[in-house]
Each structure stands twice: as C-alpha cells, then as structure tokens.
Amino acid sequence: MAKKKDAEKAAQNDENNKQEKTEGAEDEEPNFSDPEDYVDNISDEDLLGDILKNRPQETDGVESVIVVDGIPIVSTERFEKLRNVVSKLFSKVGEIVNECYPKTPDGNTKGYVFIEYANPGHAAEAVTLLNNHKLDRLHTFSVNLFTDFRKYEEIPDEWEPPAPQPYTDMGNLHYYLLEPDAYDQYSTVMNRGGTVQIWLNSAPEPIKLVEKERWTETYVKWSPMGTYFTTIHLAGVCLWGGPDFVRKMKFAHPGVQFIDFSPSEKYIVTYSPTFDGPGEPKNLIIWDIRTGQEKRSFFLNCQMMWPFIRWSHDDKYFARSDEDMLSVYETPSFGLLNKKSFKIPGIRDFSWSPADNILAYWMAEDKDVPARVTLIEIPSRSEIRSKNLFNVADCRMHWQKSGDYLCVKVDRYSKIRKDKNEIKYSGMYFNFEIFHMQEKQIPVDSVEVKESIHAFAWEPVGSKFAIIHGDQPNICVSFYGVKTGQTPALLKKLEKKCCNHLFWSPTGQYIVLADLRSSSGVLEFVDTADFNVMAQQEHFQASDVEWDPTGRYVVTVCSFWKAKVDTGYSVWSFQGKILKRFNSGAFCQLLWRPRPASLLSIKEQKEIKKNLKKYSAQFESKDRMRSSRASKELVEKRRTLMNEFNAYRDKCREKWQEQKPRRLQLRNNVDTDEIETDTKNVDEEVIEFFIKEETTIID
C-alpha cells in the first residue's frame, strides 16, 4: 500500500516538472540565429531578383545634372553678370531647375558650375550642343554629365588591347548585278505584313526567290544601292543579303519605327519615338553597318520631318538642326565639325547637295529682317551664295539629282496691310527660285505662278522640271526647261488633267501623271521628248507608283494601308501597256531593289545610246528566242493539261461502266442511259406575267 502511494506521488511530481518546463519555454524568447557552421549559398538576386532591379541607385536623381568647366573666375561684384550669361546660354536647351556655383571663402567662383535640368534628355542635349563651346577668347566650356564621373573612375589604369575578332565572310552581296538578262528584283509584303516575298522580274513570268512568314513586324526597306534588305522588329533592325538572304547584321534598338541609310551604305540610322531603358537617354542611334558598332546617339525631340539627320553624298558629313542652330558632324570621328555649331536664328529647314559637299538652308523672316536662302561649303563653312526673300510663308528645297540645279519653292503672301501695330496678310502666290550651281557666281532665276501648286519634280537625268498647278476642275501640268545662261522656259502646258503626283522615269524623258488621292487612280504616261500622251489608264484606289531602276517598267500598288478591298499591284510598260495584274487580300507594299550608279562615264553612255542599233540586234535575237521558248512552254503546258483531263475522263468512263449493273437493278432493268429525248415533240408552254401599266390621256 505504501509503494502504491509512493508511485502515485512520483507520477504527480513528473507531471508537475513537465508543466513547469512547458511554462518556462513559453516565457523564453525563440532563437532564430543560424548555427555556427551554417553556410548561406543563396544570393539576394536569387531570392529578390525582381525587387532588387528597382532598388535605388547612387546616381538616382542626378541624371539631369551637368557639370560645366571653363567658367570664368570672377568676384562677387561680377557674379550676377556671369550668372545671367551662363543661364541664358544653357536655358536655350531646356528648362533649368537649379544652379550651383561653388565659391572660395573670398566669394570668387571656382571655374565650374552644376546645372540641373527638368529632365535627363535636356541634360544630354546640353552636353551634345555646348561641349567645347567658346565663350570668349580665353574660356571654352567643357560640359559633362554628372553621372559620367562614375564611369571615368572605373576606367582601369592599365590599357588592355581589345581581342581580335574572327573574320566573317559576308559573301557576294552584289550577286544580283551579275544577272545575265539584267532582270531586276522586287520585294512584296502581303497578308497585313505576315508574308514577305522577293521576286525576280523574269519573262514571261516572275520567279519567286524567297518567301518567309513573319519576316518583319511593320515594313521592309532596301538600302540605297540595293546591297541589303532591311526588316523591322520590336527589338531592333536586321540586315539580310546574299543569294539566300542570310542575316548579315542586327542592331538592337527596342521600339524602333524609322530607319535611314547613309548614301554610301556605311551607316544606318534608327529612331524610336520613345525611350524606355536604363543609362543615357537616347532615341536616335547611328550604327556602323560593317562592324555593328554604335557610333553616335542623340535624344531628339524634333519637329522636323524625317529624316532628322541628313547625310552628305559621300558619307563624310551629316547635319541636324535644332532651335536657331545647325550642327554639322564629320565621320568617322562623329564629332562636331570644328567643335562648334552654326548659330542661325530662325532656321527652318536644310538640305545637302546630291553631288557636292554644299549645304543649303533657309531662315524665316523676323520683323524687318527678310527670309533668306543660303548656300555654304563644307568643311570650310564659307558662304558661297545667298538670296533674300520677302513676304515668305514657307519654303521647300528640291535638288536636281546630278546637283546641277537647286529649286526653292517659295510660298508668298500677295497682299500686306498694316493696321496700327499689326500686319495682316491675304492671298498667296508662288515663286520657284532656280540656283544654277555649275555656273559662275551661281546666278538665280525666278519663275512666278499665281495658282496653287500641288506637286514639283525634277527630271532625274536632264534639265527639265514639271509642276502641277491650278484648282479643280482646271488642273494643269507645266513643263519647264533650264539652260545655261537662260531663264527657265515653258516647254509645254497640259490642261485639264486629273492628277496630283509626278513620277519621272529614273532615266528621264518619260513621266507618269497619277491621281493617288481619290479612288479613281487615273494614270497618264507622257513622253516629254514631244509631250505626247502615250496612254491613259486607271488603277482603282492606287496608293503608290514605283519605277524599276532601269526605267522599263512601272508598278502601281493598291495598298492595304490605304484601302481594304481590291488590294494588289499592276505592272505596266513605260509606254503604259498593262503587262500583269496581281490581286491579293491585304497586300501592303512593293519595292524595287535599287541598283548602284553606273560605272560608265556620261560620255560612254552617250556613245552607247548613239550606236544603239549596233547592240540592239543581239537583244532582239534574245527576245525572239525567249518568245519562242515561252510559246513552246505554253504549248507544252496546255498539252499536259489536256492529257491530264483525258486521263481523268477515261477513268470516270470506266467507273460509269462498272456501275451500270447497279443502275439497271435500281431502275427495274430499264436502261435509261440509252433514252434519247425527242425535243421536237415536247409541248411548249407559254407563261405570261404583268410587267407594268402605262396610261396615256388623249385630248
């Protein structure tokens, strides 16, 4: 009995001890420390990668800050004057939020200033435009982004040469010029951009060379000399070339929408209207085509028409304009020419000569200062000709392809009435100022037109130009000839024409007058040798007209981007004869592959044209052989189709004979196959029905 009591007492004590331990554990704080031998092999990027991408950076908030060195060191008395000069200069780029001029204990400036803009784009623009700006004879600004100092600090002390890159054979990119029959190529975009094809314009039928699905996101483009085929993608631009159209180069530029090539195909320009990414803000990038390297970038907010930067004919220079400023850059350094931009108050537009390093620009009127067209020579920057213009509303510059002439179309106000301090304008008339670039001192002739101008175009090879003028229904097309030492003369006026666009043949002489704004799509093919209208045609809802590089064919396109029905293209001869029609749903674009300039001199080309009969015999022989071969191919094709039809008919007859017992069984052994209908004894039934009733009242 005593042992039993002791056991119960021991059990009670154990229960009490367990309860005390549990209560003590609840009162004690938990320990979350890792053991001493624990090794953490998981990085923060693996755990919080998405969050860490958005963590604040050391440079956040200073992307809009620039540092300007070369500021004059002045005392307190002259500080306000210095501050006004610097602020006025840098505020032209954008809104200035803050300025900081470090000073010595004596109150003198230290020779540099911190300037903060409202956005990073203006800061980058200030570096581009005002770096190396010469304030006076002793002070030249050195402008840098504040964030660049971090980049310069990380430059290693020891220079390591870049590793040599392996040579990549680009293949024969000009294989298409070796085509024995000189057939040209053209590209088409179909199915709302889903299908891209490249064709060889062979006779009698074109040959499809390449077809790819989803080859481009928007549109395609050939390089100026036809070496590369360009496709546009969400991530950037791709260049294709060679007989198999293999990708030769790609340029990463997210959101790119516009591209442009330099005339010699050394560089390509890509532009994205929006910038969304880390690093220095930039939406326009210039790339080296052969190496794929980024050569220069800008952050532009241009109001001008594309392209925002424009190239000289030899790729040595390119230029862009900003408010009251024209900047010319040289290659391959891609730096400002003479480290300084042109300050041109009121500049509106500019254009390069297609044959010389001459740049033309015009500036608008400002109070009592007239508008002005100026020609400058690059790189000397010397002014070689200028022309003052009055009562100017707008100007458009048109260079003749060989650079022999420049036409400036001037829109002028015809009447000016001053009412107290306000000047009022009414009425418009138009002038064509013709600059003779190859003559001494560059004389200028004027052609005045009192009617509205709808289109202007120079003859590519020759010295004629055409204009469309007048108002409906009296639209006229006038042709003028320009000769050395003479004012432009009216050669021919075609009256009451339905057109609003002019398309000259690449070889000159022939022109197409087209109506592309209305749905009629009227086309007129004109030979300007005698101004004879060779043909009048129509292409319903035509949106584009494209000459092939040789001037033998014209293509008219009805694009899905303009119309939703009857899309496709038609091929015409240069005389206006229809050669082929192709209709396809959601057809978008057709572009001929360009050819580089001929290696023959002008004298050699004239000699060939003079002795054309000497060479025409062999080409006529080829045409006869091709025609004969085409006829044989057509006959053979028809014979094959006839044989296939006869074989199919014999097969059907055998089947018909095999099924005859079954037909007799189903028709009670009546052979209905042998029944002939006697149409002579068939009763005729006459049916009459009321059409209309007419009532005539007789007096």
Three-state SS for 510-541 is EEEEECCCCCCCEEEEEECCCCEEEEEEECCC
Q: How many helices (H) and strands (E) does the chain have?
A: 8, 41
The phi and psi torsions of 615 (rounded to 5 degrees) equal -95, -20
Q: CA angle at residue 524 from 472 to 609, to 5 degrees?
A: 140
- The CATH H-level (homologous superfamily) assignment of domain 62-152 is RRM (RNA recognition motif) domain (3.30.70.330)
Q: CA angle at residue 208 from 228 to 503, to 5 degrees?
A: 60
The phi and psi torsions of 652 (rounded to 5 degrees) equal -70, -35
Q: Which two tokens stand for residue 600?
A: 């023959």
C-beta separation of 525 from 477 below 8 A: no
Amino acid 423 reads I
Residues 345-355 have pLDDT tens digits of 889 999 999 99
What local confidence, expressed as pLDDT, does residue 322 receive? 84
Strand partners, 241: 246
The model's pTM is 0.71
For residue 22, pLDDT beyond 60:
no
C-beta separation of 403 from 355 below 8 A: yes
Task: Report how far residue 454's alpha carbon sits from residue 33's, in angstroms, rounded to the nearest whole number.
Answer: 83
What local confidence, expressed as pLDDT, does residue 654 receive? 92
Per-residue pLDDT, averaged over 672-688, amounts to 62
Amino acid 585 reads G
Residue 627 burial (CB count, 10 A): 12
Residues 556-605 have pLDDT tens digits of 999 998 888 889 999 999 999 999 999 988 899 999 999 998 888 888 88
Residues 316-364 have pLDDT tens digits of 999 998 888 899 999 999 988 988 888 898 899 999 999 999 999 999 9
Residues 112-163 have pLDDT tens digits of 999 999 888 788 888 877 888 888 888 889 999 888 877 778 888 888 888 8
Rg of the chain over Cα atoms, rounded to whole angstroms, equals 39
The phi and psi torsions of 655 (rounded to 5 degrees) equal -65, -40
Task: Report how far residue 407's alpha carbon sits from residue 622's, in angstroms, rounded to the nearest whole number.
Answer: 43
Q: CA angle at residue 19 from 13 to 23, to 5 degrees?
A: 145
Task: Report how far residue 16's alpha carbon sits from residue 101's, in angstroms, rounded to the nearest whole number.
Answer: 79
Task: Report how far residue 364's alpha carbon sits from residue 346's, in angstroms, rounded to the nearest whole number.
Answer: 5
- Segment (H or E) for 544: strand 544-547
For residue 3, pLDDT beyond 50:
no
Q: Which of 447, 442, 448, 306 is nearest to 375 (CA)?
A: 442
- The chain-wide mean pLDDT, for the chain, equals 85
Q: CA angle at residue 427 from 425 to 428, to 5 degrees?
A: 105
* Domain 451-597, CATH number (from 2.130.10.10, 1.20.120.1200, 2.120.10.30, 3.30.1310.10): 2.130.10.10
First vs last C-alpha separation in the chain = 153
HSE-CB at 351 with a 13 A cutoff on CA atoms is 18
Task: Report how far residue 555's alpha carbon sits from residue 593's, in angstroms, rounded to the nearest whole number.
Answer: 13
For residue 2, pLDDT beyond 50:
no
HSE-CB at 383 with a 13 A cutoff on CA atoms is 10
Q: Which two tokens stand for residue 483?
A: 């000769």
Task: Report how far residue 300's alpha carbon sits from residue 290's, in angstroms, rounded to the nearest whole number.
Answer: 25
Q: Where are the domains of the chain?
A: 62-152, 451-597, 606-666
Task: Report how far residue 315's alpha carbon sits from residue 327's, in angstroms, rounded to the nearest whole number.
Answer: 15
Task: Report how far residue 333's alpha carbon sits from residue 98's, in angstroms, rounded to the nearest whole number.
Answer: 33
Beta pairing class for 65-69 and 142-145: antiparallel
Q: CA angle at residue 544 from 543 to 549, to 5 degrees?
A: 170
Detail the DSSP E strand segments found in 370-452.
371-377, 382-389, 392-399, 405-419, 422-436, 444-449
Q: Which two tokens stand for residue 113?
A: 């200033």
Query: 672 or 89, which is more confident?
Result: 89
Strand partners, 329: 318, 336
Q: Is 530 left (phi over 0), alpha (psi -120 to 50) or beta?
A: alpha
The phi and psi torsions of 301 (rounded to 5 degrees) equal -125, 65
Task: Report how far residue 337's alpha carbon sits from residue 377's, in angstroms, rounded to the nearest whole number.
Answer: 12
C-beta separation of 294 from 287 below 8 A: yes
Tokens 């005389």 found at = 575
Tokens 């704080």 found at = 29
C-beta separation of 397 from 348 below 8 A: no
- CA dihedral angle for residue 466, residue 487, residue 381, residue 268, rounded to 10 degrees: 10
Distances in Å between the Cα of 83 and the Cα atoms of 105, 119, 255 are 19, 21, 40
Worst-scoring range by mean pLDDT, 42-46, 138-142, 338-342, 434-438? 42-46
For residue 681, pLDDT beyond 60:
no
Q: Which two tokens stand for residue 296?
A: 């220069």
For residue 10, pLDDT beyond 60:
no
What's the full length of the chain, in residues?
699
